Amino acid sequence: MPNQLLNVQGLETHFQTREGVVHAVNGVSFTLNEGETVGLVGESGCGKSVSMLSVLRLIPTPPGKIVAGSAVFRGQDLLKMAEDEIRNVRGSQISMVFQDPMTSFNPVLTIGRQVAEPLEIHLGMSKEQAKDRVVELLEMVGIPNSRERLNDYPHQFSGGMRQRVMIAMALACNPQVLIADEPTTALDVTIQAQIVELVKRLRDELGMAIIWITHDLGIIAGMAQRVIVMYGGYFIEEAQVKELYANPQHPYTMGLLGSLPRLDLDQKKRLVSIDGLPPTLMEKPQYCPFAPRCKFAIERCWNENPVLETLAPDHRVACWVDIKTGRAR
């Protein structure tokens, strides 16, 4: 049995706005094992990034606030750590690759300086030691002429190269967990494929666990062992990758999979769209958050919000209806 690295239970995060309280993350729970890759999927605004930023206590306060839950990493609750303790965890034991490589770097500091900083802070390296290690890291992620590029600034790198440097920075201290927040979103398709292959290779070489946040189920298919589907601030389905793709049990997951182009099916078959709009999250629903968009909704869906229940080994779903039969579970 693999060792459990991270155990998050009942995580809730709110944001105070002029219009009221936004319930961004609503009691989500999950685990992550050593060397495992978990995909967190869902449409924009469903709470994927906020849930992971909450685990690392990177939510801006105010307006954000973690109001409930625990995130136990190696026996310690990250949400209860003192500020200097959590700072020692970030970057050294749990690292994050942020969503936009264009804006994630400080534009007035050289790339070499920014990648070297965590080495000096967390590993106590001298400036010369850090410089040599940065060259190794940049070579590892495929940056040519690495030593000559240490004094270059972020604007002198392309988007794909910047994302590679961001990955090098995240891996600088050999973290046990890498959180990748849609790291290929702003890149073209060929660069996306290169970044995915790079992360897979580094994962296998370094043995780290990965949480890959995305709205693209196609990327997750070839990368993760387990998938968690998120909607409206809730986790609504969780399963092993092959099981989820072959046997989706939630109407939203079925809709997501139906919207993917398939090369193995009739090319004349139309892609599926999900009617309606995502919830605003301004109030915590007492009913299923997907009910307004669901063609399978029954009366119970409007009266009670389902919780994740186990249907089969390693497969959990939050739905009152069996979508295969259209009947209540």
pLDDT at 263: 63
Integer angstrom CA distances of residue 117 from 121, 133, 178: 6, 11, 18
The full length of the chain comes to 329
Look up residue 308 and give its amino acid. Answer: L
pLDDT at 320: 92
Residue 15's nearest CA partner among 56, 39, 51 is 51
Residue 224's nearest CA partner among 41, 14, 83, 28 is 41
pLDDT at 266: 60
pLDDT at 264: 61
pLDDT at 140: 82
Distance CA 319, CA 64 (A): 29
Integer angstrom CA distances of residue 262 from 113, 225, 237, 243: 44, 21, 22, 17
Q: Compute the chain's Rg from CA coordinates.
A: 21
Distance CA 136, CA 23 (A): 43
Residue 29's nearest CA partner among 220, 329, 310 is 310
Could you tell me the sign of the dihedral formed by the alpha carbons of 39, 260, 244, 224, in that order? negative
Please list, in sequence order, all residues whose beta carbon lies within 8 angstroms of the beta carbon of residue 267, skipping any fewer than 6 positions away: none
**Mean pLDDT, contiguous 10-residue spans, the chain (329 residues):** 85 91 91 92 88 92 89 92 88 83 82 89 87 88 88 88 85 87 77 81 86 86 90 93 91 85 64 80 87 89 90 90 81
pLDDT at 269: 67
